[in-house]
Amino acid sequence: MSLPVGAILAWLCLQPATSLADDEAASAPAIPRPVTQVLEWLPPDTETVFVARGPMEIISDDRQAETQEFESYMESLPSSLYRVVDKGRVADQLIDLEVTTAVEGSRHFRASKGLGLMPYEGCQILVFHEKSHAKLSDAMKALFEDAPRTFELAGRRVAVFEEKLEDDIWTTYLTMPRTGVLLFATHEGYLRDMLKRMEGKREKRAFPRDLPEWKHVDTNAKFWALRHFDSKSAKDDPTSPLSPHGAASVFDAEAVGFVFWWDPDHKAIATVRQLSQNDEAVNIAISAWNDPAEGLIADVHQLEPGVVEIKHATGNPEIDLHYLFLLLAYLGHAIAL
pLDDT at 7: 37
- Whether 20 has a pLDDT exceeding 50, the answer reads no
Residues with Cβ within 8 Å of 233's Cβ and at least 6 positions away in sequence, in order, are 47, 107, 108, 109, 240
pLDDT at 279: 95
- Whether 1 has a pLDDT exceeding 70, the answer reads no
Residue 244: cis peptide before it, omega within 30 degrees of 0: no
Over residues 41-47, the mean pLDDT reads 96
Structure confidence by residue, pLDDT tens digits, 85-144: 666 567 677 888 899 999 999 999 998 887 778 889 999 999 999 999 998 998 888 888
Structure confidence by residue, pLDDT tens digits, 47-73: 999 999 988 888 766 666 666 688 888
CB of 221 within 8 A of CB of 262? Answer: yes
**DSSP state at residue 188:** H
**DSSP state at residue 263:** -
Output the DSSP codes for 77-142: TTS-GGGTGGGGHHHHHHTTPEEEEEEEEEE-----SSSEEPP-EEEEEEEE-GGGHHHHHHHHHH
- Whether 226 has a pLDDT exceeding 90, the answer reads yes
Structure confidence by residue, pLDDT tens digits, 290-323: 999 989 999 999 999 999 999 999 999 999 999 9
Residue 75: exposed, middle, or buried by beta-carbon count in 10 A (0-12, 13-18, 19+)? buried
